[in-house]
Amino acid sequence: MTTHRFRPTRYFNAIGTAEPVLRVADGDTVVADTIDASGLDASEVMVAPRPNPMTGPFFIEGAEPGDTLAVRIDRLTPSRATGWTYSPLALTVLDPAAILERPPVQRAVWVIDRDAGTVRLKDPVRGLEDFAPPIQPMIGCFGVAPAGGQALSTATSSQNGGNMDYRLFAPGTTAWFPVSVPGALFYLGDGHACQGDGEIVGTGIETSFEMEVTFRVVKRTIIWPRGETAQDIFTIGNARPLDQALQHATTEMMRWLGEDYGLDARAASHLMGQVVRYDVGNVFNPAYTVACRIAKSWLTRQ
């Protein structure tokens, strides 16, 4: 098992079938630089310039269509001392009447204080002079090439992953993606130093990162992305409207409970009906994200 250090010289604004930048073995670790959209030279982007420039794709030896790629998020280290967000709240999360009173869009700079472990507005607005939430790094957009030769914009998400903006895609989490092309062709980027649920201002605190991930090829088939932390398992649905994303996530969890925990549909419904938790990922971009989450303390693996 090898650790590869990769420094990109070009980026992608779509996740699809492209010439891999690096081939790695099952079990290898990659340490890669990622950037946010600020200051990106359009000549460095291989598709029409849009947010979420991706590093990759990485070809994982042995990954074949029908397999699952497990990606353990080992480390997310901001590589700049600042990040940025937009305000006000997005149109998608406001009542229509409130939109009429919505102030103009502004961009704000945040200071990322790694010594203090906090983020704060560089120029605080009234009432937030002492506001300094903790740094909580996460990956906003990552995934594998979709099936059928598609190239999906990094502004959206689907069964292959993409722009999900789910806060539990953080260090210590293992994300699982369905493999649709040889080598999986894995991309990652869109690092956030901090973000609330939903990415409801259209951004997290966007900044550049050094990201470390470890790959494992699993010979099983899943339909939607899955994830595992020390405490929970979760499944991801990406769609619009929001209820369709919830349906995808719930159905994928029911499958998982049957495959790994020996629960038939009735048993799974009893368990999920009482202890399931739903988290909201992205509700700003074209596809919304819902996570269906269950604490491992309720589960006995078969």
- The CATH code belonging to domain 226-298 is 3.10.28.20
Domain span(s) for CATH 2.60.120.580 in the chain: 3-80+136-218
Predicted local distance difference test score (pLDDT) of residue 45: 43
Predicted TM-score (pTM) of the model is: 0.94
Asked if 86 contacts 199 with a C-beta cutoff of 8 angstroms, the reply is no
CA terminus-to-terminus distance, the chain: 29
Domain span(s) for CATH 3.10.28.20 in the chain: 226-298
CA distances from 23 to 30, 56, 127, 143, 144 (A): 10, 10, 50, 16, 14
pLDDT at position 41 over 90: no
- Mean pLDDT calculated for residue range 67-88: 97
CA distances from 213 to 109, 162, 188, 242, 302 (A): 28, 16, 10, 30, 28
Predicted local distance difference test score (pLDDT) of residue 46: 46
241 preceded by a cis bond (ω within 30 of 0): yes
Q: Could you tell me which CATH class the domain 3-80+136-218 is placed in?
A: mainly beta
DSSP 84-152: EEEES--GGGS-HHHHTTPPPPEEEEEEEETTTTEEEESSPPTT-TT--PBP--EEEEEEEPPSTT-EE
* Structure-token pair, residue 34: 């990622």
3 state SS of 214: strand
pLDDT in tens, 10-20: 999 999 999 99
Q: Which residue has the tokens 């010594």?
A: 115
Q: Would you give the DSSP letter of residue 45? A: B
Residues of the chain above pLDDT 70, percent: 95
- Mean pLDDT calculated for residue range 168-190: 98
> How many other CB atoms are there within 10 angstroms of residue 104's CB atom?
6
pLDDT in tens, 249-298: 999 999 999 999 999 999 999 999 999 999 999 999 999 999 999 999 99
pLDDT at position 25 over 80: yes
> How many other CB atoms are there within 10 angstroms of residue 299's CB atom?
17
pLDDT band at 37 (very low <50, low <70, confident <90, very high): confident
- Mean pLDDT calculated for residue range 112-130: 97
CA dist 62 and 223 (Å) reads: 19
pLDDT at position 39 over 70: no
Single-letter code of the amino acid located at 90: A
pLDDT in tens, 125-153: 999 999 999 999 999 999 999 999 999 99
